[in-house]
Amino acid sequence: MIKLVVLASLLVSAYAAKSYSGYQVLRITPQSEDDLTVLSMVEKSISDMVDFWKHPRSVGIPVDIMVSSEYREVITRFIQTRGLKVEVMIDDVEKLSEQQKLRESPSTANFDFASYHELSEINDWMTSFAASHSILVSLENLATSYEGRTIRALKVGAPTGSTKPVIWLEGGIHSREWVSPAAMMYMTNMLVEGYGNDADITSMLDDFDFYMIINYNPDGYEYTWTNDRMWRKTRSNNIGRLCDGVDPNRNWDFQWGNAGTNPCADDYQGPNAHSEREVKEVTDFILGLNDVRVFIDFHAYSQMWLTPWGYTYRLPSDYTEQYTVARDAVNALSAVYGTDYVYGSIANTIYPASGSSVDWAYGVAGIKHSYAVELRDTGRYGFLLPANQIIPTAIETFEAVKVIVKAVTY
């Protein structure tokens, strides 16, 4: 009997959601190359004690790290003794995480776009939304996740009786970035509600089919609600290793193999390119489409509009056009609420990242206008953006999307 009680206790512990009570997010801004060296050393030597939300990349660019109460004092002291200032960005990660789950109007008859939703609620909305707007919207199955969930898209476009070029917008590839799928849902709603009422939207849906992939990584997203709010990867089992999951944005089969090799790290690239069925099946689907003009992968956070390449500092042959369109898109976005974005190639703007979706879309699928977008904010809330910023994020981002679609209309 005692053994059964102990076993039951162990099982409860194993499946209990991870608590981030007492965790803080600290910001350190390097003022010199020496400072940058210190922070890079911290990242390499104590990565098992902290979670880098923003990695060291250049002088003057903030570094954000999440640290538990267990290690906070020693790490803060270590950093401060090297002359670096430590600023507390988030005082209690758990408290902010719980606030994200609160609903303004949980009993409303209409879907509440101003709240974050569990995976089942998102799936139910996608089904009902497609059914209630069947002239413009259809539900498409793209792939099956490691745990057997269906990765779906809402295909939005006016019926013309002929094949149209495609605009591909995807969200939620990193599961802890909740604002990405939330903003994707509202932008989808804006597309449909705008048809016949907004000249730009009407023209877009007449000329293109939009594939809106609301949640690319359903296994990981579900896990952020049930087990670990800060989970980023897939949920595949790394046989023979201590840690599960692969970073699905380091697993695409283009210049794969120069990203994270530690299975326990958030940026683990996987045992081989396309090891994740989510990535392999979605890429196969994209290659089967006709004339994909735009590919945008929405992430959070940092407020950046990024272009290829990620794997190298070298710029692609189409960079001038990509840069110009990204600049115009950011200007349109910023004109809405004054939100500041930076733009440029992935490697030169943040850090080198091989095996990414954007590099694959441009380098393999030949989609010239391929972008990775880091949505709000710049670090005040980070991955824990309050729900009241979902709709403003979607509205301003949609203005940028319209600029890019106009740029490829020919």
Better-predicted residue by pLDDT, 234 or 45: 234
Q: Give the pLDDT mean for 93-104.
A: 91
Q: Give the pLDDT mean for 274-297.
A: 98
State pLDDT tens for residues 309-352. Answer: 999 999 999 999 999 999 999 999 999 999 999 999 999 999 89
State pLDDT tens for residues 182-228. Answer: 999 999 999 999 999 999 999 999 999 999 999 999 999 999 999 99
Q: Catalytic residue positions? A: 374
pLDDT at 410: 73
pLDDT at 234: 98
pTM of the model: 0.94
Return the CATH number of the domain spanning residue range 119-407: 3.40.630.10
Position 8 pLDDT exceeds 70: no
Q: Give the pLDDT mean for 109-136.
A: 96
Q: Are 166 and 289 in contact (CB under 8 A)?
A: yes
% of the chain with per-residue pLDDT over 70: 93
State pLDDT tens for residues 43-61. Answer: 877 767 889 999 998 999 9
* Ordered DSSP codes for 363-386: HTS--SEEEEEEES-SSSSGGG--
pLDDT at 240: 64
Distance CA 115, CA 106 (A): 9
Position 138 pLDDT exceeds 90: yes
Cβ atoms within 10 A of the Cβ of 128, count? 11
pLDDT at 45: 77
Instruction: Answer whether CATH 3.10.150.10 is correct for domain 18-95.
Output: no
> How buried is 246 (Cβ within 10 angstroms: 0-12 exposed, 13-18 middle, 19+ buried)?
buried
Q: Give the pLDDT mean for 14-35.
A: 89
> Considering only CA atoms, which of 43, 62, 57 is closest in space to residue 313?
57
What is the band of 104 on the pLDDT scale with cuts at 50, 70, 90?
A: low
Q: Give the pLDDT mean for 287-299.
A: 97
- Locate the DSSP E strands across 188-328: 209-213, 292-300, 304-307
Tell me the pLDDT of the chain averaged across its residues: 93
Q: Are 38 and 82 in contact (CB under 8 A)?
A: yes
Task: Please state the domain extents for the chain.
Answer: 18-95, 119-407
Select the highest-mean-pLDDT range: 31-45, 58-72, 129-143: 129-143
Distance CA 274, CA 281 (A): 9
Distance CA 257, CA 281 (A): 20
Q: Report the run of H or E that residue 28 belongs to, with start and end.
A: strand 24-28
